[in-house]
Amino acid sequence: MTHNHLASLSNDFLEHLEIDLNRSQKTIENYNHYLERFLNFSKITQAKDINLDLIKKYRLYLNRLEDNKGGKLKKITQNYHIIALRNFLKYLAKQDIVTLSAEKIEVGKNPQQEMIFLNFDEIERILNEANKSTLQSLRDRAILELLFSAGLRVSELSSLNIEQINLKTQEFSIIGKGSKMRVVFISDSAKTALEKYLYKRVDIDPALFIRTNKIGFKKEDDLRLTARSIQRIVKFYAKMAGIIKDVHPHTFRHSFATDLLANGADIRSVQAMLGHSSITTTQIYTHVTNQQLRDIHKKFHRKKSSN
């Protein structure tokens, strides 16, 4: 295998992502999956053989690809494949390897998905369902309160340890997506919920959120709640509260951001609190708040002008 063999270059690129760019293991796994799919489709071995005609055929292949259930790849997933390929080509160009210019490949527009978020009344209804004095109920209330208070990703919430949380200052640092550190804040109600939950804990497990049923677990580390378990907890209380929206932990993050913007927070501050590397990602929330303003204008301005 020569050094210019595409499979070898692909491995070099993945190592570059890990060592030089400090990308997460999940990101590297995704890039590996996307590039393997391209290499398996193209059957080429040399970088110089990548051309626009091949890219066109690959896009058509992605658009027609079906999983074992007959489902098609979402447009956003198709775009992730193309973005991975573009970044690979940019890397090759920096290594002075002759190949297609990344700029010649256009990434399709992602279809705008309707963002689901909860208003404050809906949040309150969900919180009020976790109202018992059992360890499980106190834990669940603390999870729900912290999700809304801090706008955490579910993976961030799951990874928290007790020692990270400073209830006195009501803030703590967390390393989020892309290994970026940010400070998150705990509201008064979230602080109270966490205090009640931690007071009830009698174990020595370092994890902040643990399984309350210890039967069948061989070591303390097994007690940490997974992201999937937290997702089930959130869905359970949303259903109990009679919320018909499809509620996930990320819905609380959306609600956190829209609540801040609707109450006058500036977008740069919200970007920092969410841990977004790009302001563009945060701007999706302004569309939601703009829609809220539009609805208010329609409701009240028309009434006023008709009098």
The answer to whether residue 191 is catalytic is no
- Site of tokens 């996307």: 34
Contact 275, 177 (CB under 8 A): yes
Residue of 139, 141, 254, 276 marked active site: 276
Residue of 31, 34, 58, 285 marked active site: 285
pLDDT at 306: 45
* Residues of the chain with confidence (pLDDT) below 70: 1-4, 108-114, 178, 214-222, 287-294, 296-297, 301-307
pLDDT (tens digit per residue) in 135-155: 999 999 999 999 988 888 898
Q: How far is CA 55 from CA 2, 65, 285, in A?
A: 24, 15, 33
pLDDT at 196: 95
Whole-structure pTM value: 0.62
Residue of 139, 191, 224, 253 marked active site: 253
Domains and CATH numbers, the chain: 6-104 (1.10.150.130), 120-298 (1.10.443.10)
Contact 101, 238 (CB under 8 A): no
The answer to whether residue 153 is catalytic is yes
pLDDT at 145: 92
Residue of 191, 211, 250, 254 marked active site: 250
pLDDT (tens digit per residue) in 243-265: 888 888 988 888 888 888 878 88
The answer to whether residue 253 is catalytic is yes
Neighbours of 202 (CB within 10 A): 6
Phi, psi of 171 (to 5 degrees): -155, 160
pLDDT at 113: 59
Phi, psi of 134 (to 5 degrees): -75, 160
The answer to whether residue 81 is catalytic is no
The answer to whether residue 276 is catalytic is yes
Scanning the chain, the segments in alpha helix (DSSP H) are 6-19, 25-42, 52-64, 75-94, 120-129, 135-150, 154-159, 188-200, 227-240, 249-262, 267-274, 279-306
Residue of 153, 191, 211, 254 marked active site: 153
Residue of 177, 182, 201, 248 marked active site: 177
* CA 161 to mean position of chain CA atoms: 20
Q: Is 40 left (phi over 0), alpha (psi -120 to 50) or beta?
A: alpha
Task: Give which of 64, 111, 58, 63 is closest to 88, Cα–Cα.
Answer: 58
DSSP string, 127-182: HHH---SSHHHHHHHHHHHHHHHH---HHHHHH-BGGG-BTTTTEEEEE-GGG-EE
